A = this chain, B = another copy of it.
Amino acid sequence: MAYTVRMADPFLPWDQYGKPARTRQPLSREAIVDAAMKIIDEQGLSALSMRAVAQALDTGPASLYAHVANKEQLIDLVLDRVYGEIEVPEIDPARWQEQLKDFTRSGLKVILSHRGLSAAMLGGPPMGPNGLRLMEASVGLAHAAGLSEAHAAFMGELVGQYIAVNALEQETFRERFGAASEDEVSEWVDQFRGYLQSLPPERFPTLVALARSGALMSPNTEEERFEMGLDILVRGLASYIESRN
């Protein structure tokens, strides 16, 4: 067996007498969430494992379980921290439509800045402190728009789902074509268009017409698509509210 240097060895000059050479900061829930967040931001949610978090903290995976119930809870904790980054509006009933849109846009931007986390948003309603803040904002907005609290609560969920689904869609698209150049993407689109054109027009009249019509999908960029869906959502809400009066 080889001789290995131990921290407590009093003969090493860099070892300050009385305390161990390098006190690693002790494990804590906060430190664990920090480490998890860093992994997600750098490598995406799919790279998050209890083992990776443990390694970042220079310990073994089993040690994490003293501070966190399981991986699911850890992700929820990260998610709630991320929710804290989303700006919420001061509610102005007269401008609820524009405020709701801004809120949704800001939510999308934040969640997209933590790769892969959008998938975790669909795990259930946000129940952490920051999640409740968001709930209050969107439910409050819908309430100010004229919905009962109960209907407004449902509306808050719709908005959250809209953000999550859009973030997820944009992420999976980037994952599939992220490495590809613009040329490669448009080549792929051309191929797909060609495939649609080759379908039997009796059974697929609209898709064939679509392929022939030039643009495959008219809201073309991610942003245009997000905005169009958001417009439809807000229009639907406004129409629903009107129908109740």
Interface residues, chain A, CB within 8 Å of chain B?
122-124, 132-133, 135-136, 139-140, 143, 148-154, 158, 161, 164-165, 168-169, 172-173, 176, 199, 203-207, 209-210, 213, 215-219, 225, 228-229, 231-240, 243
List, in ascending order, chain B residues with CB within 8 A of A234's CB. Answer: 236
**Given contacts A206-B139, A206-B140, A236-B234, A153 and B123 within 8 Å (CB-CB):** no
Name the B residues within 8 Å of A143 (CB-CB): 206, 209
Q: Which of B136, B203, B218 contacts A154 (CB 8 A)?
A: B218
A177 to chain B, nearest CB (A): 11
The contact of A123 among B172, B218, B233, by CB within 8 Å, is B172
Determine whether the beta carbon of B229 is less than 8 Å from that of A168: no
13 further A-B pairs in the complex, CB-CB below 8 A; given A150-B213, A154-B229:
A122-B168, A122-B169, A122-B172, A123-B172, A132-B199, A135-B207, A136-B207, A148-B213, A153-B217, A161-B169, A165-B165, A235-B240, A235-B243
